[in-house]
């Protein structure tokens, strides 16, 4: 089955992407592009041939080949794939692909329309470019981690959503899509340098806007959207679960007070009186602790007060809204999110399970022009799986 037959739905149908195997944000970028219809060919190590991917959701919708990138013949094989590709994804430290012989100069010399997507934490240059790191390091240096958590406590790690996924993989997917448009218009490819520190900083644009307007201070849990505002935070309920309250606009705040029976309470008359916020928070906390999460959820249903239950992963998948939209699905026992965003003109197909590593090696190499004898010769030398 060729890539065009296998992956023909979505706005990126007809786009071919070579993904050099990596972890975290690089595969997330590949997943997004594959979800949108691109034929993403992941290059993995021969030692992994025939095994199941450790991260099956991130590896969905791909074809997989196994090639030894440390051998000249393996590099030559990957360059054959790149010759017919529209984009490439790599997540090594700066300079690694250059040393392997598959850096931007080598690839663009063969395929001038290629979009060469590079995913790193610190970027391709700068004093820390060669230093190791992870999501927590990148969001710390970008200023985001310091802003998340309780006022008197320690910064709280927001999963790896801010750096790896939002500031990394999703940013690179956007960069590649933009560069593909440019290449289609001009015939000229380019390098996309996606750094998680840059992407994290970019996501702080609203916060920096509020700071510039004098509406944000750099102290945790003392601002509108960091848990400091009584009308924009979580509260514990009687059953040790939680509600999320987001009644920021005045009309929603009024509805919140109405349901809680506090409309005439003078403590809540001035919504943005920051001096009263601690007492307001305490009073809200007392009230929400008197009922269970689901009791409050029923009480607030239809009230337009922006109050929602805090759900775990299983509950989120089963919620009527998410179930109605198909936001989550289950594949081979794995709960997974559906493709997003949604395209009404070129809808994406349902996610396909992650393939066994290397299961498309012969197929993909045949598409690149290697006959069965050439592939067998590479296999005999342990260059492909």
CB within 8 Å of 198: residues ≥ 6 apart: 123, 142, 167, 171
Q: What tokens appear for 336 in the block?
A: 């997974």
Judge contact between 100 and 21, C-beta under 8 A: no
With a cut of 90, say whether residue 227 has pLDDT above it: yes
**Is there a contact between 26 and 89 (Cβ–Cβ < 8 Å)?**
yes
Q: How far apart are CA 207 and CA 32, in angstroms?
A: 27
The residues carrying an active-site annotation are 134, 164
Task: List, in order of start, the domains of the chain with CATH numbers.
Answer: 3-203+329-380 (3.40.50.10540), 232-236+242-309 (3.30.1540.10)
Residue 45 has pLDDT above 60, yes or no: yes
* Residue 314: both structure tokens together: 């299983």
Structure confidence at residue 8 as a pLDDT band (50, 70, 90): low
Strand order in the sheet with 87-90: 62-66, 39-44, 16-20, 87-90, 115-120, 190-195
Q: Indicate the pLDDT class of residue 9, thresholds 50, 70 and 90.
A: confident
The 8-class DSSP code of residue 168 comes to I
- pLDDT per residue as tens digits for the range 309-332: 999 999 999 999 999 999 999 988
pLDDT at 365: 95
In tens, the pLDDT along 283-305 reads 999 999 999 999 999 999 999 99
pLDDT in tens, 231-288: 999 999 999 999 999 999 999 999 999 999 999 999 999 999 999 999 999 999 999 9
pLDDT at res. 243: 98
First to last CA, the chain: 19
Residue 206: HSE in the Cβ half-sphere, 13 Å Cα cutoff: 5
Q: Are 148 and 8 in contact (CB under 8 A)?
A: no
Q: Say which residue the tokens 């959207």 belong to.
A: 225
Share of the chain above pLDDT 90, in %: 95
In the predicted structure, residue 34 carries a pLDDT above the cut 80: yes
Helix (H) or strand (E) holding 269: none
pLDDT digits (tens, 9 = 90+) for 88-137: 999 999 999 999 999 999 999 999 999 999 999 999 999 999 999 999 99
Residue 119 — φ and ψ, nearest 5°?
-115, 115
Q: What is the pLDDT of residues 174-223, one digit of tens each?
A: 999 999 999 999 999 999 999 999 999 999 999 999 999 999 999 999 99
Mean pLDDT for 359-372 is 95
d(CA 271, CA 252): 11
Mean pLDDT of all residues belonging to the chain: 95
């Amino acid at each position: 089955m060729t890539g065009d037959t296998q992956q023909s739905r979505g706005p990126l149908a007809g786009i071919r992407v070579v993904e050099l195997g990596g972890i975290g944000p690089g595969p997330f970028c590949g997943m997004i592009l594959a979800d949108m219809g691109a034929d993403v060919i992941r290059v993995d190590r021969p030692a992994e041939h025939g095994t199941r991917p450790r991260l099956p959701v991130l590896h969905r919708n791909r074809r997989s080949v196994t090639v030894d990138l440390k051998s000249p013949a393996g590099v030559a094989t990957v360059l054959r794939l790149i010759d017919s590709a529209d984009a490439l994804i790599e997540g090594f430290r700066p300079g690694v692909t250059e040393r392997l012989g598959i850096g931007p100069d080598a690839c663009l010399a063969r395929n001038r329309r290629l979009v060469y997507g590079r995913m790193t934490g610190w970027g391709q240059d700068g004093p820390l470019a060669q230093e190791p790191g992870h999501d927590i390091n990148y969001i710390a240096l970008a200023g985001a981690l310091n802003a998340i958590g309780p006022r008197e406590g320690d910064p709280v790690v927001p999963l790896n959503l801010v750096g790896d996924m939002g500031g990394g993989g999703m940013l690179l997917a956007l960069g590649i899509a933009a560069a593909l448009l440019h290449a289609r218009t001009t015939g000229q490819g380019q390098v996309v340098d996606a750094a998680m520190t840059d992407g994290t900083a970019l996501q702080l644009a609203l916060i920096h806007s509020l700071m510039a307007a004098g509406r944000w201070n750099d102290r945790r849990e003392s601002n509108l959207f960091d848990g400091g505002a009584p009308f924009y935070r979580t509260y514990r309920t009687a059953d040790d679960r939680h509600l999320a309250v987001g009644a920021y606009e005045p009309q929603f705040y009024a509805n919140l007070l109405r349901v809680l029976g506090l409309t005439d309470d003078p403590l809540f008359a001035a919504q943005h009186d920051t001096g009263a916020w601690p007492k307001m928070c305490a009073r809200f906390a007392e009230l929400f602790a008197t009922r269970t999460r689901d009791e409050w959820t029923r009480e607030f249903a239809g009230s337009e007060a922006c109050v929602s239950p805090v759900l775990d992963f299983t509950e989120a998948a089963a919620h009527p809204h998410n179930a109605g939209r198909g936001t989550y699905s289950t594949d081979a026992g794995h709960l997974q999110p559906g493709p997003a965003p949604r395209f009404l003109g070129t809808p994406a197909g349902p996610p396909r399970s992650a393939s066994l590593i290397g299961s498309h090696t012969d197929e993909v190499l045949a598409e690149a022009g290697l006959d069965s004898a050439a592939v067998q010769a590479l296999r005999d030398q342990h260059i492909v799986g």
